[in-house]
Structure 1
Amino acid sequence: MADSFNFELVSPERLLLSGSVTAVVIPASEGEMTVMANHAPTMTTIQPGVVTVTFADGKTDRYVVFGGFADILPTGCTLLAESAVHIDEISRDDIAKRIEVARGELEAAPNDEHRAGIERYIAQLGTVQGTILPA
């Protein structure tokens, strides 16, 4: 049986989850990473994606996050999301609206670097949409 650790998922609106878990898969900026008990101290940014939480009883739960960062310590992990919802609360329209807003920001981007960041974000939202809401 894997050791457990404390995990908190927080969005500006609310605390979505706080509890003891055995593993958390997060969409880190450098790719998906699995956090387990006694993980090396790490801080990483989060890209839009799905967070999968595994509890001690083996059950899993999933949340969709839209950016943020994670602070990982050997005894726990806190993910502070720019925005997050339970996977059952997201719809194709929600993601389509986010893509539409980002496209509007793309048109007003002041420089190529900003434009490239927005284009990456739009691509990530498309990936999330295809992953959790297949056609």
Structure 2
Amino acid sequence: MANTMQFDLVSPEKRLASLVATQVQIPGAEGDMTVMPDHAPVITTLRPGLVIVSGADGSTAQFAVTGGFAEINAESTSVLAEHAFVGEVASRTALSGFVEDARKRAADAEGEHKDVAEKFVADLVHLMEAME
């Protein structure tokens, strides 16, 4: 059993992080999950939340994501984020603008789409609160 795994965070624009990790906490669409080395292979969708990476050196890194996918296997975890925010001050500023855009889209949505859009806004607000 290996004690570490590779963690990569990528957005559509670029690779944001590449770390050796002992565990990764992921905001899965079906619930939070903690991934450790030798995890069974799985692909899961993400909801807005924090990805928390425990480094092999004892450090912890946090990344805010607005959604995306995580691909997990025994040796690595790759998060493919729709949008990811790195750096506390920049993250809050950028994320607050993202929340306002999501609120506008939710206000314009109808029917089932409105429910989904409002849930997305609630998840984003929860994410901002978790970052404080």
Query: When the two structures are superposed, what TM-score results if normalisation uses the length of structure 1?
Result: 0.89
Cα deviation for residue 87 of structure 1 reads 3.9
Question: Quick one: distance in 2 between partners of 1:64 and 1:87?
Answer: 9
**Preserved CA contact (<8 Å) 1:64 1:87:** no
Cα deviation for residue 49 of structure 1 reads 0.7
Q: Percent identity?
A: 39
* Aligned equivalent of 1:96: 96
Root mean square deviation, CA, Å: 1.4
1:70-89 Cα deviation digits (max 9, x unpaired): 01111111100000021423
1:64-111 Cα deviation digits (max 9, x unpaired): 1110000111111110000002142312x43332222112212332x4
* Aligned equivalent of 1:120: 119
* Aligned equivalent of 1:35: 35
* Aligned equivalent of 2:83: 83
Unaligned runs of 5+ in 2: none
Question: Quick one: distance in 1 between partners of 2:32 and 2:43?
Answer: 14
Query: When the two structures are superposed, what TM-score results if normalisation uses the length of structure 2?
Result: 0.91
Question: Quick one: distance in 2 between partners of 1:113 and 1:101?
Answer: 19
Unaligned runs of 5+ in 1: none
Q: 1:94 to 1:19 in 2, by over 3 A?
A: closer
Equivalenced residues, count = 130
Q: 1:87 to 1:48 in 2, by over 3 A?
A: farther
SS at 2:104 equivalent: helix
Question: Quick one: distance in 2 between partners of 1:51 and 1:120?
Answer: 19
